Amino acid sequence: MKTVKIKDKEFELFLTQEVIEKAIDDIAEKLNKDLAGKDPLFICVLNGSFMYASELMKRVTVPSEVSFVKMSSYQGTSSSGKLKEIYGLEEDITDRTIVIVEDIVDTGYTMSLMLEQLACDSPKEILVTTLLLKPDALKHKVQLDYVALEIPSDFIVGYGLDYDGYGRNLADIYKIKNS
């Protein structure tokens, strides 16, 4: 079994690039059908989504705009933990069809905040695509329209996802060993 070491942790091969990109083909096919004539704006969430966004957008054939945002933590007064806010959105999304592009929905916290914050700007509709979903880790109710792959709750790296900043450039996805 192919393994990689990143900092102090060992990871083993979990999803090959071939499997991932076959799943992306299927999502793109659905989006191309569903978004025809809708002039969508794709909003890709950095950093993790860069590889999924790139492969997905190469397959999207409907006329569309692509933009990138970051969900950055900020210091809040709430005791409920990290708060996150959208940074970098320059387009006016009023009355637009929006497609959020994420690499992973894990607890669902980031996506729930993103949906809540974008809804304040009165888009026509918001659709969500994520490359990966950990269904057993979900703690927040989120709307997910196009999920490429469902995976167990193990920590993973590669294809945009990092461990402590590293591993995003791996072309396959690896899961942590002995978890």
- The residues annotated with a catalytic role in the active site are 106
Closer residue to ligand HPA in complex, CB, 60/142: 142
Closer residue to ligand PRP in complex, CB, 36/119: 119
Contact call for residues 176 and 6 (beta carbons, < 8 A): no
Contact call for residues 144 and 130 (beta carbons, < 8 A): yes
Q: Tell me, what DSSP letter sits at residue 147?
A: E
The Cβ of residue 62 has, within 10 Å, a number of other Cβ atoms equal to 14
d(CA 53, CA 46): 10
Distances in Å between the Cα of 91 and the Cα atoms of 67, 95, 122, 125 are 8, 12, 13, 15
**Site track for ligand HPA across 48-87, x = CB under 6 A:** ----------------------------------------
**Site track for ligand PRP across 60-89, x = CB under 6 A:** -----------x------------------
d(CA 154, CA 94): 38
Contact pick of 68, 144, 155, 177 for ligand HPA (by CB under 6 A): 155
Q: Mark the segment that binds ligand PRP (CB under 6 A) among 7-15, 45-53, 60-68, 90-98.
A: 45-53
Position 104 contacts ligand HPA (CB under 6 A): yes
Q: Which residues bind ligand HPA (CB under 6 A)?
A: 104, 106, 155-157, 161-162
